[in-house]
Homo-oligomer: A and B are copies of this chain.
């Protein structure tokens, strides 16, 4: 698996590209000398966790023939402060599920993902983050 990241202006604008040619833009915040025109790197870790866990949940609920359903995951986190590198300290994910899915099945899928299968959440946990979640049916 290979990713290329290339500087795209004279500040901090960066373009990431994978082998399939998919791209996304990362940027520094205006505080840090950037233009806020893309994801910040640590922010994209939260996106990756939400996405990895969404894929697990979709996969588990698909196998249980619970389609169609909708899913949004909102993730918020708090970083360490005062160190040279400030890692994620707490991360909370709210899973909002729409459709005809029994709440306990959605909760079980989220739990299996965040505590067992999701490589991104296991990475953040191994690096010291406390990960919590809740599931909302709408």
A residues apposed to B, CB below 8 Å: 1-7, 10-12, 14, 16, 18, 20, 22, 24-28, 32-34, 36-52, 54-55, 58-59, 62, 67-68, 70-77, 79, 84-88, 116-124, 126-128
Task: Decide: B75 and A3 in contact? CB cutoff 8 A.
Answer: yes
Q: A7-B71, A87-B119, A122-B85 are in contact. Are A44 and B48 (CB under 8 A)?
A: yes
Q: Are A1 and B46 in contact, CB atoms less than 8 angstroms apart? A: yes
Shortest CB–CB separation between residue A118 and chain B, in angstroms? 6
A22 CB to closest chain B CB, in angstroms? 5
Given contacts A3-B74, A67-B10, contact A16 B119 (CB under 8 A): no
State whether B4 touches A74 (Cβ < 8 A). yes
How distant is A4 from chain B, measured CB to nearest CB, in Å?
A: 5
B-chain residues with CB within 8 Å of residue A70 when the two chains form the complex: 6-7
User: Which listed residue, B28, B75, B124, touches A2 by the CB 8 Å rule?
Assistant: B75
